[in-house]
Structure 1
Amino acid sequence: MATSNDRGQTWQNIYDVGAAYSLKNIAFPAAVAGDAGRAAVAFYGSTTSGDGSANNFTGVWHLYVANTFDGGLHWTTTDVTPKDPMQRGCIWSHGGADICRNLLDFFDMTVDKQGRVQVGYVDGCADGACAQAALTAKGNAYTARGVIARQSSGRRLIANFDPPNPLHARSAPGMPSVTVRRVNSVVHLAWSEADTGNANITSYRIMRGIASGAETLLRSVSGNQTTFDDTTATDPTKTYYYKVLAVNGAGTSCANNEVAAPYVGDTCTGLIVQKTPPGHPEQPLQGLAPASLAIDWIAVAEPPGTNNLMFKMKATSLANVPRNSRWRIVWNSYAAQSYDPAAEQFYVGMRTDQNGTPGFDYGTIATAVVGLVIGVPTETSIGPLPGSSFNADGTITLIVPKSAVGSPAPGDLLGAVNGRTFTGDTPQTRNLERSTLLVDHTFVKGQRDNGHPAAAYSIAGNVACGP
């Protein structure tokens, strides 16, 4: 950072606001000023060096805010999303349709009427599978969830609203941000470090219930702990609800961070990653689709004793299978470039020909860009999927060797997993994923009528799921 008093003719107070965290890359900086000498800057930052827009970039990104209260002589930088990366891998800073352009270029900051800093940003690693993954994990969730980060303590950019004795006054902690994933018989919780309120966090209280708003204390853990595995949430008929409260010497954080952990299956037979339940806003639209092409849910599994991935799509019914149609499960992966340098997605799926005869294959999807115009996603088949099948009840089972799709290792992520159905294929359109051919979809980047956000699956490693 630097300051200028002559409209940029000269600069002084040059200061590296990323040095405190050893940042090597930043993206999308934005600034806001308040009273004389007071300003703040927000940006995404990564401690990994190299080209942050490169497909092979492996760093993780957090949101940072730096403040000055003396005209830029000194800055204090805060990691606003500790323990909770907002993006894994590259942040795209060019045009086109690269899969790491999921953040949509939306980023800005402002100050409210009492001088508190607010930052509007996009969380590209929003779900539990992504947020809880190890730093070394490959892949990303590729979500695009809009988030507002709001200053909760400390000096303001408008001096009249500074709290009394702001450098030493103590207050109750800020509210942690909680993520959850329920895998097999364990619920994995993680939360961000809470704003301390100028007093050390002494503990976190983990609350649990089987009805929303009815949580009671399950366990208290150390103020240094930010993860917890609940091995007692074993009833598959129940949805478990959780809150995490931060505690310090001045009080307890508010409890508006409830998360739900419904049972969604297991990694052996299928972990449901997207589902259209009754009452969902998409349900009336889904009812307009033929039962054979309406998607109820999609799931991912890793059958024990194999080195395969198993994908499942549940259509409402396949008692009557339409001709010239496709059922696809798609996910983002730069490993697709080993087959086609332009591809950034894999697909697995079923296709029927003009006679209604089904076949199963996997392949890549590439989306060309001509100038500023994004082209039509185009499939290229790699090969058949032996052992795949469908049932009249609507269940399509697709089995692909991990070695055929980049050999994802335990802990790695399959990002932006989604289901799509198409019909009316012709020889000219049979490999195109045009929006006009879509019948139903759970998530497609750029579509306004998505029924779900992008989903992620964390590779478990083809391990047994129970005794």
Structure 2
Amino acid sequence: MAGGAGRAAVAFYGSTSSGDGSANNFAGVWHLYVSNTFDGGLHWTTTDVTPKDPMQRGCIWMHGGADICRNLLDFFDMTVDKQGRVQVGYVDGCADGACAQAALTAKGNAYTARGVIARQSSGRRLIANFDPPNPLHAKSKPGMPSLTLRRVNSVVHLAWSEADTGNSAITRYRIMRGTASGAETLLTNVSGNQTTYNDLTATDVTKTYYYKVLAVNGVGTSCGNNEIAAPYVGDTCTGLIVQRTPPGHPEQPLQGLAPASLAIDYVTVGEPPGTNNLMFKMKVTSLANVPPSSRWRIVWNSYAAQSYDPAAEQFYVGMRTDQNGTVTFEYGTIATAVVGLVIGVPTETAVGSLPGSTFNADGTITLIVPKSAVGSPVPGDLLGAVNGRTFTGDTAQTQNLERSTLLVDHTFVKGQRDNGHPAATYSVVGNVSCGSP
């Protein structure tokens, strides 16, 4: 982006890890960077715009086709506002607390596709007339931290980006909490070098907790427009709700668009203590009547599926009924073929059955799968793009296809979450007691 005489800026995605950034075994994380020059390119200053908050984990796809790390959708642009401040529009592929807070060694990604605008908050502008007085030494209030959270069992895990210092060192962060939006009061202060906090006192499962984090320096306090909500979504023993249909969702049976047996209320992921299993649940409105020739699927992205099929990039677990209404449970892989520039139909390949899986007339489908069968994820790893899908009217030709036109209900398809809250990512914690953080 060109500015006034001798001034320009460049935005780019970058990783400090070496290797092929498009390879599915690339283990690095990516951040948004902006480089500025104010002397015609003789010197450049590069800033990590997303510190402590990667915008993608693993590969960024730079080819055609349907690879799961093509979730950034090719959208990336840069402009300047009327006062010379840089603005960058980018896609955040690691947009929730589970992904943003994961360790650098974690495998997996959120595979989100959230549009974000990064705005310059201090410093010299691309148009010199709008530079602040004495721009290299001027001091101002700090910028607003970007806040993420995870509410897991009895702990709320908070993390935030380093605030723009405003040329004055951050002395502390003020953590605010309330049980109503806009009613936060001071919970605690932490040092200006700290960017995480675990709230061990948010234990009332009937309440949604609201948080803000304010940065403080020698000039003042950042604005408080970063409120974030932490509703109770269950525990890892019985299942954390990763996607929920809000009341009145148009695919509910009252609107006549989805029968009760196929309208998804919520999807959960958990890890039963004392086992080495993952537990997925899909709650539909009712299974008092189970339709024949139908499928209930929970799907997530994983390159580990290629251990079964080199073309596969997703696992699924689910329930199926045949033409006689007989119920079976299975897990398998999904591959999406590409012919030329045309993306084909996602196709299931069953791998095995799921002993111990059940369904109830109240609409709860419980699916138990050994971790060893789906890539052996370890604590800290991510199950990304977790989603529910239902199908009916299967024929011999369609019974293994996941064509979007066959969907009765869904919670996430190709980056378009139509009813998911929070983002559909599960962070593996291990098969531990739910009293553990």
Q: Quote the offset at 1:446 in angstroms.
A: 5.8
Return the match for 1:332 from 292, 301, 325: 301
- Contact 2:243–2:411 (8 Å) recurs in 1: yes
Task: Check whether the contact 1:277–1:283 (CA below 8 A) recurs between aligned residues.
Answer: no
Q: Choose from 100, 105, 109 the match for 2:78.
A: 109
Which residue of the partner structure matches residue 364 of structure 2? 395
Conserved in 1, the CA contact under 8 Å of 2:336 and 2:343? yes
8 A Cα contact 2:209 2:231, kept in partner:
yes
Look up the match of 1:70: 39
Residue 37 of structure 1: aligned partner:
6
Deviation of 1:36 after TM superposition, in Å, equals 1.1
Alpha-carbon distance in 1 for matches of 2:255, 2:99 = 28
Distance in 2 between the 1:203 and 1:282 partners?
47
1:165 is matched with 134
Residue in 2 that maps onto 1:184: 153
Counterpart of 1:195 (choices 164, 182, 186) is: 164
In structure 2, runs of 5+ residues without a counterpart are none
The normalised TM-score by structure 2 is 0.98
Unmatched segments (≥5 aa) in structure 1: 1-31
- Give the match for residue 296 of structure 1: 265
1:56 to 10, 22, 25: 25
Is 1:249 the counterpart of 2:213 in the alignment? no
Decide whether the 8 Å contact of 1:124 with 1:144 is kept in 2.
yes
Is it true that 1:310 corresponds to 2:279 in the alignment? Answer: yes
Contact 1:282 1:451 in 2 (8 A): no
Q: Secondary structure at the match of 1:336?
A: helix
Instruction: Find the aligned partners of 2:184 and 2:250 in 1 and give their Cα distance.
Output: 27
| Alpha-carbon spacing, 1:212–1:446, altered in 2? closer, same or farther (3 Å) | closer
Structure 1 residue aligned with 2:376: 407
Q: Select which of 207, 214, 220 maps to 1:238.
A: 207
The amino acid across from 1:86 in the alignment is M
Pick aligned residue for 2:184 from 207, 215, 219: 215
Determine if contact 1:208/1:215 at 8 Å carries over to the other structure: yes
Tell me, in whole angstroms, the C-alpha distance in 2 between the residues paired with 1:250 and 1:120: 30
Q: Retained in 2: the 8 A contact 1:204–1:221?
A: yes
Structure 2 equivalent of residue 265 of structure 1: 234
**What corresponds to 1:20 in structure 2?**
none
| Equivalent-residue separation in structure 1 for 2:116 and 2:253 (angstroms) | 28
Deviations 1:102-145 (A, max 9, x none): 00110010111110000000000000000000010000000000
The amino acid that maps onto 1:81 is T
Deviation, 1:82, is 0.3
Which is bigger in relative contact order (C-alpha 8 A, separation at least 6)?
2
State the distance in 1 between where 2:333 and 2:152 align. 28
Amino acid at match of 2:149: V
2:418 partner letter:
N
Give 2:329's match in structure 1, choosing from 357, 360, 374.
360
Instruction: Note the C-alpha offset of 1:436.
Output: 1.5
Residue of 420, 430, 433 corresponding to 1:452: 420
Deviation at 1:452, TM superposition (A): 2.8
Give the SS at the match of 2:306: helix
Paired with 1:311 and 1:465, the residues of 2 have a C-alpha distance of 16
Contact 2:302 2:315 survives alignment (8 Å): yes
The counterpart of 1:430, out of the listed 380, 391, 399, is 399
8 A contact 2:253–2:263 mirrored in 1 = no
* Preserved CA contact (<8 Å) 1:281 1:451: no
Letter in 1 for 2:263: A
Residues 388 and 410, structure 2, Cα contact 8 Å, conserved in 1: yes
Q: Is the 8 A contact 1:287 1:294 kept in 2?
A: no
TM-superposed deviation, 1:278: 1.4
**Corresponding residue of 2:346:** 377
Give the superposition deviation at 1:434.
1.0
C-alpha deviation, 1:283, in angstroms: 5.5
Deviation at 1:435, TM superposition (A): 1.2
Contact 1:304 1:462 in 2 (8 A): yes
Paired amino acid for 1:273: V
* CA spacing shift, 1:286–1:71, aligned 2, 3 Å: farther
1:120 corresponds to: 89
Displacement after TM superposition at 1:450 (Å): 2.5
Q: What are the superposed Cα offsets for residues 379-437 of structure 1, whole Å, 9 maximum, x if unpaired?
A: 00001000000000000000000000000000000000000000110001000001121
- How far apart, CA to CA, are the structure 2 residues paired with 1:280 and 1:201? 44
1:134 aligns with 2:103: yes
CA distance in 2, matches of 1:278, 1:183: 24
Give the letter aligned to residue 419 of structure 2: G
What is the CA–CA distance in structure 2 between the aligned matches of 1:414 and 1:281, rounded to whole Å? 27
Q: 1:341 aligns with which of 286, 300, 310?
A: 310
Deviation at 1:451, TM superposition (A): 2.4
Deviations along 1:39-66, whole A, 9 cap, x unmatched?
0000000000000000000000000000
- Give the direction of change, closer, same or farther, for the CA distance of 1:175–1:94 in structure 2 (3 Å limit): same
**C-alpha deviations, 1:353-377, integer Å up to 9, x for none?**
0011110000000000011110000
Distance 1:331 1:387 in 2: 21
In 2: Cα distance, 1:282 partner to 1:461 partner: 34
| RMSD (Å), alpha carbons | 1.3
Separation in structure 2 between the aligned mates of residue 466 and residue 341 of structure 1, nearest angstrom:
40
Pick the aligned partner of 1:100 from 69, 72, 84. Answer: 69
**Kept in 2: contact 1:173–1:246 (CA 8 A):** yes
Q: Distance in 2 between matches of 1:429 and 1:446?
A: 23
Paired position in structure 2 for 1:19: none
SS of 1:101's equivalent in the other structure is coil
Q: Alignment partner for residue 90 of structure 1, among 59, 62, 72?
A: 59
